[in-house]
Chains A and B, each alone.
Chain A
Amino acid sequence: MKFIVLLAVVILLGCWSLFIGYTEISVSDIFTMSDRQSLVMVASRIPRLAAVIIAGASMSICGVIMQQMSHNRFVSLTTAGTMDAAALGIMLSMLIFPDGGTYQRLSVSLGVTLLASAVFMTMAERIKFKNLVFVPLLGIIFGNILDSVTTFIGLQFNVVHSMASWLHGDFSSVMQGRYEIMYVSIPLLAAAYIYADRFTLMGMGKSFAVNLGMNYNTMFRLGLVIVSCVTAVIVLTVGMIPFVGLIVPNIISILYGDNLRKTLPLTALSGAAFLLVCDILGRTLMAPYEISVSVMVGIIGGAIFLYLILGRRVNAG
């Protein structure tokens, strides 16, 4: 039921987003589009819509997985340095393969992301002082360190500027032929859903999971791989988008609990809907100019995040 409502919301928002933009296309034109209109639709609007939906859904799901792995509600792609690691990876790939294609960029970025998230998540797991705020703070520090390394290297090779514009989360550059790698996320999300029960168990702690016969370490590694792949792909194609993996899972948890088999589809759809709303607002508020999605998410998400913390709506445990 909730699933159907959310699905309807995503579909409606999705259709709406197809008809916003500089080139006017109205619903009534849909069967009588001019060449220019159909080019815009196929080469820009539909890819953009797909990218927004995939990014929203997969960042939210990665957020859930990271929160289960670290037993901490505030750990996410942004608060564990995962996105910064992906950015560092992209920077390195630009130096290693100056004329490299998407796959070379992706593999370097994936390697760095995997390494960094393994380091951080293992650290988070071993930390004895399991304070709700301490672990994400540590993650933010970790992310900032990675970010400084990126900037330092960028300065040395004079590529800070192109990096900054690249990494700024933005869907306006999504075009046919330049975003398709994002579809890699879909099988990964399917894997997350197949193992939903195991990720729930993981959230209950190692002794719980082992008691029930689950191979904790294998699942931990699977979680790392899913999170790292998805993050690397997203940062490579649309840049860094804050907060989505943080607030969407928290809101879903407050409303519907943590039984991931039940909630993962809701989380994915809500993430997509949230990002779609931010994208649509960004494109309409100052039309024909565009406010980039990461700014919109930062504003709206930041407000929601503050409400979650200050309102103590998050179970601190």
Chain B
Amino acid sequence: MMRTENISKFYDEKAVVEGVSVDIPKGKITSFIGSNGAGKSTLLSIMSRLIKQSDGKVYLDGMPITDIEDSELAKRVSILKQSSHINIRLTVRELVSFGRFPYSGGRLTQEDEDIVSRAIGYMDLTESENKYIDTLSGGQRQRAFIAMIIAQDTDCILLDEPLNNLDMKHSVQIMKTLRRLTDELGKTVVLVIHDINFASCYSDYIAALKDGKLAGFGKVEQMIESGILKDIFGMEFDVREMNGSRICLYYT
């Protein structure tokens, strides 16, 4: 699946990401966690060729992504960045239809239309498909963007803080959808996430970054552990097992 090898990114002399090698497990959800400025988003952007790394390589199924054509890569890896600033007026359906752009340019076939309809249905947006996205609530808009990613139908889906600005209900909804994408459709999902408990409850694997370096990688059970978390975030965590999930208490 996706693998990074010794990725580094320097801005001027400062290293934002330094020597990160991580092998993303196929068909699983992997969450990048870490403090602000730890390099999570930068790493995700490098993995999706939005930013060029200073050093190292990203491999997709054993092939360096720089060797894959843009239009081909768009059929295999998708990335959704934080999109709250987008102020373009498109309807939900028009937006989701753009997910088919790598396949058919702007001219959708009947098959594309069916895929678009299914993606919209999957995100429960069929009723609002003709509404403009700038009239939607934050949660609906985020769902619309994810529907576009679903229509793009890539094996690997990268999401940069998909829960940003969402309330609890919508956050749970989004995370459940990501779970379904991996469990039902076999997608590989990688996300940058700040809420440690969402990461713990919904991910399969956790990759922790600290000061641009990989500070740990493993299954949730290994990583969500007070000693490790203290190392990563520099604060105390009280980790409890509840209903089969690990919940971190760190508020007081």
Residues of A within 8 A of B (CB): 71, 73, 130, 196-198, 200-201, 203-208, 210-215, 253-254, 257-259, 261, 315-317
Contacts and interface: CB of A to CB of B under 8 A. Distances in A.
B101 A258 contact: no
Nearest to A196: B106
A71 B86 CA distance: 9
Nearest to B105: A197
B101 A203 contact: no
Contacts of A214: 70, 101
Interface in B106-159: 106, 132, 134, 152
Contact of A257 (B73, B94, B99, B102): B94
A130 B86 CA distance: 12
| Category for how many chain B residues contact A | 20 to 34
B249 interface: no
Given A197-B105, A201-B98, A213-B70, A259 B90 contact: yes
15 contacts: A200-B98, A201-B98, A201-B101, A204-B86, A204-B98, A205-B85, A210-B70, A212-B98, A213-B70, A213-B72, A213-B101, A257-B90, A258-B89, A261-B106, A317-B87
B79 A207 contact: yes
Nearest to A198: B106
A82 to B, nearest CB: 22
Given A210-B70, A212-B98, 9 more contacts: A197-B98, A205-B81, A213-B74, A257-B91, A257-B94, A258-B88, A259-B90, A315-B89, A317-B86
A206 B52 CA distance: 14
A207 B85 contact: no
Nearest to B73: A213
B170 interface: no
B199 interface: no
A65 B105 CA distance: 19
A258 B90 contact: yes
5 shortest A-B CB distances, which residue pairs?
A317-B87, A213-B74, A197-B106, A213-B71, A257-B89
A210 B86 contact: no
A65 B88 CA distance: 13
B86 A205 contact: yes
Contacts of B74: 211-213
A317 B85 contact: yes
Contacts of A215: 70
Given A207-B81, A259-B94, A213 B102 contact: yes
B226 to A, nearest CB: 36
B26 interface: no
B49 interface: yes
Contact of B87 (A196, A211, A316): A316
B84 to A, nearest CB: 9
A270 to B, nearest CB: 16
Contacts of B83: 205, 208
Contacts of B75: 213
Among B85, B94, B98, B132, residue most surrounded by chain A Cβ atoms (within 10 Å): B98
A203 B102 CA distance: 17
A308 to B, nearest CB: 14
Nearest to A314: B87
Contacts of A203: 88
B78 interface: yes
A261 B49 CA distance: 27
A316 B106 CA distance: 27
Contacts of A211: 48, 50, 74, 78-80, 152
Nearest to B103: A213
A208 B75 CA distance: 14
A270 B33 CA distance: 51
